[in-house]
Structure 1
Amino acid sequence: MKVILVDDEKVIVDGLKKIIERYIPECEVIGVAYNGLEGYKLIQKRKPDIVITDIRMPQADGLDMINMLIDADCQTKFILLSGYADFEYARKGMQLGVKFYLNKPVEELELRDCVCQVIAELRESRSKLQEVDDLRQEIHSRIQESALRDILDLGNDNTVQVEELLQIAGIPTEGKSFVCALLEFDNHLGHMKELGLAPVFRHVDRAFGRYGTVYRFRYSGSQAAVVIAHGEGIEYGNLVLAVQRMKEAVFQESKLSMTVGIGTVQHKVSDLSQSFEEARYALSYKIIKGIDAVIPFHEISSINRYRNRVPEDLIAKLESGIDNMDQVECVGIIREIFRGMEAASPMDLQLQCLNILLLSVRKMSFQKLEQNDLLGRNILSLEGISRFRTLGSLEEWMVQVIQEIIAFKLEHNIPKKKDIIAEIKDYVSTHYDEPISLADLAARFFISPYYLSQLFKQKTGDTYINYLAQCRIGKAKELLEKTDLKVYEICQKVGYSDKQYFARLFEKLTGSRPSDYRKNLPRA
């Protein structure tokens, strides 16, 4: 603790300094002054934790000095000294918030006990302030993460809403370039469950420290998203190397392996979701690149450049057959697709099969499929396909894959295709008070987040984010009308953690603040 001594008698100052050095090792005397005005200037400059000051001094006495410092918003704690046992001085000191008052001559133990009480009070006060700051930072981080998660799932045609979310979250975008990465941890998550993602995020911060701002958060299940915003151009090769180093460092420390998909660099914030979708798409190609790989988006683009592409209408029919779990129809479509294939090298045929499979299950949650050992480890891998080197054997392999997917859906009681948006609306109307992101819904309803986002907009004319907000604010209106709950309590009950964000959103959707809405309700 830093201490300044103020007294017009040098012998007193020297004596106090010796006592502190001998009996109070937690403290360091960083300066002395011999009158109130000199003390005021020194304290303003050095900002000590504790000031021990005489009351009667020339130019400005101790109480005048304290009063000036309080007016200057000084947070120092004061101990008053006086050679006069005059309660009036103590009373004036207490009016200024001074709790500690000692008479001269000061005894060593008395001074030590008094200073130790001040130290204990300072530590307690700072601990409480730190708790408040930590809570405030946690709330701010959650708001930013929630906004970014919504932005990543919105798509590229919601520029206005993206800008609103960024403004609410206080995320600067002017003159920034953006790039996203998606980290997926393997199925052995014992270390992650025990330690959480904090060790991973420390390595993320360290690896990308050269960039302006890095946001990282759990996206869903075993996935974490990383969003980089940088004021200058982002050199893609260096970024990929940084990801590789981060991945290796995480494994060395936590024995946690991951596969990483990296999107391309975007120069408009409205294209942020495009970079993320590219990262997600790149990650799905781990069945070709292998688990524990770093997969930049541009590296997988060549996989889609086949000489004999399958017509989109056949892929759409295959999707429909899988949705409806119609095994006969799916097998027939596979046969039709292979009848249209021309001769090609075994590797081209193998990659073509994987491409067909990826396209046909693009609506699904790939993580769900991987839960099945046969699908995740033996079939959905280039290593598994390499055994099949003829068109006929690959055709039978594709039939087996589709049959396994349908069997997996039946085993997990995944319903046939119906109005999934209606189901999602019903689910949201019941669980609106929970943190249900688009990714969470996608995993629950066995569908890919990107496809769900597009389907929701197509079916309802609005984004899922807007629908959830409308649902929550509608419930908030009901609670304002029918209960005496305070606004912050209603905020929490409808799924928001930040009262100010809730109030702004409420005003945007209703035209008035929550408190004003309640005041203007018609009286019975």
Structure 2
Amino acid sequence: MRKVIITDDEIQVRKGLRFKVDWEVEGFEIVAEASNGQEALELLKNIDVDLIITDMRMPIMDGVELAKRCYEQYPHVKLIVLSGYSDFDYVRGSMKEGVRDYLLKPVAPDELEEALRRIRKEIEEEKKSQIESDRMRQLVHSHLQQVQEQYFLQLVKGEWLQLGMVKERLLQLQLEELADENVTVQFATVEIRESEDNPNRLKELWLPFQMLCKEIAKEHEGTYSFYDPSYTNMVQFLQLLDSKTPEQTPNLVKSIQEKVKKYLNLETVIGIGNVVKGLEEFRNGYISSLLSWSQSQLGGQSQVIDETAAREAVFDFSPDFERKLTNAIENVDIEMFKENLNNVLGGAKAQSVLSFTFVANRVLFLLGSLVKKYDTETKDIQNTIWNCQQSIWELNSQNRVIEFLIQLAQLIVEKVRLARFSNSKLIESIRHYLDEHYANEISLTSLSKLFHINSAYLSETFKHQVGQNFSDYLVHLRMEKAKHFLKDQQLKIIDVANLVGFSNSGYFSTVFKKHFGQTPVEFRKSELS
């Protein structure tokens, strides 16, 4: 039902209008009355209205002034102005200010019905057009946003090839502000909880929660949300910080808690991470937000835990140490992995519980990225990752955490060993990696270094297993992705080029035409026909 406000300074006229037509049959519902334009405007602050029927002459604020104010403040609201014959020219002149129709007093029922039907049709057409426009905007945004979110996860968990490549990819994904080498950010981990301990309700509201987080991120400049599948019922926020606006994070946290409570009636537990500077520190900032969250109390009450404790901790996890662990796994040397792990986490080395937890999480993240890299996420590995996460969050058994990390490393080493001796498994892992990172600048040389394989051997093996050489396979993969994006009419050609890893739209068009025999523009037109 479309909602209507009747505005007239004479109560008898308002009552008369109620009985002129069958409002329900015409698809309208009278939700309020006002005696002048000012009262109508006050009502609009609290009621979502489609139509106002207003008298021309009223005290305080007349119908034409009301129409002008509505046009400025509530442009979607339609107006019908009632007037005497002598005011005809004045009312007609006011129609450019948002008045959709006028009726002479006394109002004839059939004329009112006709006016209502015209306006109902107009409202329906506008809403249909708005829905389609919103759908297209959402589709465009979701394509870009989906790729952005996937890349955020790579930034905080994946293995980087080169910092320069990361910056170039950020530019392609319209994330220029993150590509600054001095970028300062803060992560926040947001978990939803149900005060009545109803896990089914959390499952039902999971998607609405994700969508709400995206809307909240849009409202806060320089803020992005993304989802890490490793953590249930959680959404992560990345916020660029500006020294001129120190209240950014408190404002974001307040908005999250208020809106999740208002729209979903759920409690939120928010862990705020360390402020970090530079892309290389994103992973540390992300983990510190998880550590803050891990200090929350059990139960359904809302909580905010900041990074104060984590800021004081000393985290012994250098890039050199990370490389040693990675090399041990990829060289299938479990003893070397144990030795390096114990050097940092084991023995009698003095360290805080928080520092131990941070390093353990970094190791777990590293192992998780290797699982993803080699596409080895079996049920045993998933269970071991879960057990390891739980033991870390319990913060009560150092040896148990180390045991789980070694157990997970052993499972991964066996998968890597299998890949080393099985060309099909190796190429399967590489194809999985390419499917995840197809838009990055990837060469045969960089892949061979990443997977610790001779580049000539990799080239020969890849062509034998796949039936295409590496470069042709990568181009085909990018072009198939491009076809998917080109079906979205709202994306520009340069946007599509950037999404699939091309910084130059001209070169992208050339490659696309060579691959499919038509330009991206021609392909898009053919999809419409």
What is the deviation of 1:414? 7.6
What is the deviation of 1:195? 0.8
What is the deviation of 1:517? 5.4
2:137–2:490 contact (8 Å) kept in structure 1 = no
State the TM-score, normalizing by the size of structure 2. Answer: 0.54
User: Matches of 1:311 and 1:137 in 2, distance apart?
Assistant: 41
1:181–1:276 contact (8 Å) kept in structure 2 = no
1:491–1:499 contact (8 Å) kept in structure 2 = no
1:216-235 residue pairs with structure 2 within 5 A?
216-220=225-229, 222=232, 223-229=234-240, 233-235=244-246
Residue from 40, 46, 49 that aligns with 2:78: 49
1:261–1:280 contact (8 Å) kept in structure 2 = no
1:264 maps to 275
Pair 1:510-2:481 in alignment:
no
Q: Secondary structure at the match of 2:237?
A: strand
2:53–2:79 contact (8 Å) kept in structure 1 = no
CA separation of 1:288 and 1:80: change in aligned 2, threshold 3 A: closer
1:182-201 residue pairs with structure 2 within 5 A?
182-183=189-190, 190-199=200-209
User: Matches of 1:310 and 1:14 in 2, distance apart?
Assistant: 78
Q: What do the CA deviations read for 1:470-493 (whole angstroms, capped 9, x no partner)?
A: 65652378xxxxxxxxxxxx445x
What is the deviation of 1:376? 3.5
Pair 1:426-2:426 in alignment:
no
Pair 1:334-2:338 in alignment:
yes
User: Matches of 2:334 and 2:394 in 1, distance apart?
Assistant: 21
What is the deviation of 1:288? 8.0
1:179–1:265 contact (8 Å) kept in structure 2 = yes
User: Matches of 1:234 and 1:244 in 2, distance apart?
Assistant: 15
User: Matches of 2:454 and 2:489 in 1, distance apart?
Assistant: 31
CA separation of 1:290 and 1:421: change in aligned 2, threshold 3 A: farther
Q: What do the CA deviations read for 1:441-461 (whole angstroms, capped 9, x no partner)?
A: 9xxxxxxxxxx9x959x999x
1:199–1:250 contact (8 Å) kept in structure 2 = yes
User: Matches of 2:433 and 2:346 in 1, distance apart?
Assistant: 48
User: Matches of 2:310 and 2:356 in 1, distance apart?
Assistant: 18
**Alignment-mate amino acid for residue 170 of structure 2:** V
1:364 maps to 367
What is the deviation of 1:78? 3.0
1:215–1:227 contact (8 Å) kept in structure 2 = yes
**Alignment-mate amino acid for residue 125 of structure 1:** E
What is the deviation of 1:125? 3.1
CA separation of 1:474 and 1:497: change in aligned 2, threshold 3 A: same
CA separation of 1:229 and 1:106: change in aligned 2, threshold 3 A: same
CA separation of 1:117 and 1:259: change in aligned 2, threshold 3 A: closer
Residue from 408, 417, 428 that aligns with 1:405: 408
**Alignment-mate amino acid for residue 431 of structure 2:** D
User: Matches of 2:147 and 2:122 in 1, distance apart?
Assistant: 37
**Alignment-mate amino acid for residue 162 of structure 1:** L
What is the deviation of 1:384? 1.8
Q: Secondary structure at the match of 1:226?
A: strand
1:302-341 residue pairs with structure 2 within 5 A?
302-304=313-315, 312=320, 316=323, 318-323=325-330, 329-331=333-335, 334=338
The unaligned stretches of length 5 or more in structure 1 are 6-12, 82-103, 389-393, 442-451, 461-466, 478-489
Aligned residue pairs total: 416
**Alignment-mate amino acid for residue 474 of structure 1:** M
What is the deviation of 1:49? 1.8
1:280 maps to 286
Q: What do the CA deviations read for 1:6-60 (whole angstroms, capped 9, x no partner)?
A: xxxxxxx999877436546466543427xxxx99998666547244689998995
CA separation of 1:254 and 1:39: change in aligned 2, threshold 3 A: closer
The unaligned stretches of length 5 or more in structure 2 are 24-29, 32-50, 72-76, 299-303, 372-376, 441-446, 456-471, 498-504, 513-518
Q: Secondary structure at the match of 2:173?
A: helix
Pair 1:500-2:491 in alignment:
yes
1:26-175 residue pairs with structure 2 within 5 A?
28-32=52-56, 47=71, 49-51=78-80, 65=92, 76-78=99-101, 107-108=108-109, 110-139=110-139, 141-143=141-143, 145-146=145-146, 148-149=148-149, 152=152, 153=154, 157=164, 158-166=166-174
What is the deviation of 1:160? 4.7
User: Matches of 1:77 and 1:209 in 2, distance apart?
Assistant: 34
Residue from 396, 400, 406 that aligns with 1:383: 396
2:419–2:426 contact (8 Å) kept in structure 1 = no
CA separation of 1:264 and 1:416: change in aligned 2, threshold 3 A: farther
What is the deviation of 1:135? 1.9
**Alignment-mate amino acid for residue 138 of structure 1:** Q
Q: Secondary structure at the match of 1:303?
A: coil
User: Matches of 2:210 and 2:250 in 1, distance apart?
Assistant: 17
CA separation of 1:377 and 1:133: change in aligned 2, threshold 3 A: same
2:139–2:488 contact (8 Å) kept in structure 1 = yes
1:183–1:225 contact (8 Å) kept in structure 2 = yes
**Alignment-mate amino acid for residue 32 of structure 1:** M
2:81–2:103 contact (8 Å) kept in structure 1 = yes
User: Matches of 1:362 and 1:296 in 2, distance apart?
Assistant: 20
1:181 maps to 188
What is the deviation of 1:117? 2.2
Residue from 209, 215, 228 that aligns with 2:224: 215
2:83–2:103 contact (8 Å) kept in structure 1 = yes
1:20 maps to 17
What is the deviation of 1:212? 4.4
State the TM-score, normalizing by the size of structure 1. Answer: 0.54
What is the deviation of 1:128? 1.8
CA separation of 1:219 and 1:469: change in aligned 2, threshold 3 A: farther
User: Matches of 2:259 and 2:66 in 1, distance apart?
Assistant: 48
2:274–2:307 contact (8 Å) kept in structure 1 = yes
CA separation of 1:59 and 1:312: change in aligned 2, threshold 3 A: closer
If you compute each CA radius of gyration, which structure gives the higher value, 1 or 2? Answer: 1
Pair 1:474-2:465 in alignment:
no
1:215–1:228 contact (8 Å) kept in structure 2 = yes
